[in-house]
Amino acid sequence: MNKSISYGISVFLLAVLAYLAFLTNGYAKDYDQQLRAKANQHMIDKKIKKYLVNAGKEATSMMTAPMDMMTKTLDKISGKKGKNHAAKNAGGSDGTAAVDYGSKVRNTTIYFMIVLVVLLLTYFVFSKNVYIVTVLIASIIAWYIGVFTPIMTMEVWKELPVFGHTTFIFQSRGIWSTMEHLWDHAHYVVAIMVIIFSVLIPIVKTLALFVAVAKKTDAGIIEKIGKWSMADVFVMAILLATMSLNTEDMTTANIHMAIYFFAAYVVLSMIGSGIVDKEYGVHTQHA
């Protein structure tokens, strides 16, 4: 295929991937805020406060019941119907319909993966250099969403007799926010491991692959990093296992779409490394 056409298709596919990633990131953050707000409504302290307020209102109403009955009687006589009641109930408690950001995140993720499959199929029409660069840029896009977008939420809850569904703990974590949480709680060793294997090594490895393509020669650092190529997956498994520990009837842990973006980064990185090793690797040079 003509190089100019290859570059045009590559830029177009990458632009679409970047746009879908941008949408996914925005929807994921909105979805996270939606889940936080929902959990916040059921937090134990809010339940207790609401119960006390209602108890106070009931006590006050008992004291003012005779006056209320007299007021209602006068309202009926004067024909007042409470015209604002219907307006208050229209469109929900805040007058707006709830947006299902979860579905939006799923849809944009599916579209992202479809475009990614199309990009991978360009292997049969692109030159190797154009293909490798395209795959590496796509891996960076997927890596960014996988690292900086919430990857799991966990809620500890219980159905209580008086309060109903009551939330005791709600946490939303991504790779980067987990690292910050570990660091803030003085778990420095684990935080450093996370940032090394999930942030630094992927960046260095991708940059080394770009250098290898630009110079059309093997970058020695790739071979050294290669032995750690599955460490990011191992760290991800540890994080997911840690965040979902003690999952019982009163604990709900949900994995979000960012996990698929991180998995896509791993696959794309492996493809890029394999092609670079095949085209410019040490064994190729000596052949």
pLDDT digits (tens, 9 = 90+) for 35-76: 888 888 888 777 777 767 776 666 666 655 555 665 665 566
**Other Cβ atoms within 10 Å of 44 Cβ, number:** 15
**Contacting residues for 149 by C-beta, under 8 A, at least 6 apart:** 24, 25, 28, 29, 174, 256, 257, 258, 261
What pLDDT, in 10s, does the model give residues 95-143?
Answer: 344 578 889 999 999 999 999 999 999 988 888 888 989 999 999 999 9
Torsion sign, CA atoms 116, 138, 202, 226: positive
Contact 213, 276 (CB under 8 A): yes
Token pair listed for 224: 């050294």
- What is Dmax (Cα atoms) for the chain? 102
Mean pLDDT in the chain? 76
Domain extent for 241: 3-286
Q: What's the rounded Cα separation, in Å, for the pair 211 and 209?
A: 5
Closest CA to 243 of 181, 168, 200: 181
Cα separation, 82 vs 49, in Å, equals 28
**Over the stretch 198-234, which tens digit does the pLDDT of each residue have?**
788 888 888 888 888 887 766 555 656 655 555 555 5
218: nearest Cα among 134, 283, 137:
283
Query: Which pLDDT does position 224 carry in this prediction?
Result: 60
The pLDDT, as a whole number, for residue 231 is 57
Task: Name beta bridge partners: 162.
Answer: none
Q: CA angle 121-126-128, nearest 5°?
A: 105
Q: How many structural domains does the chain have?
A: 1
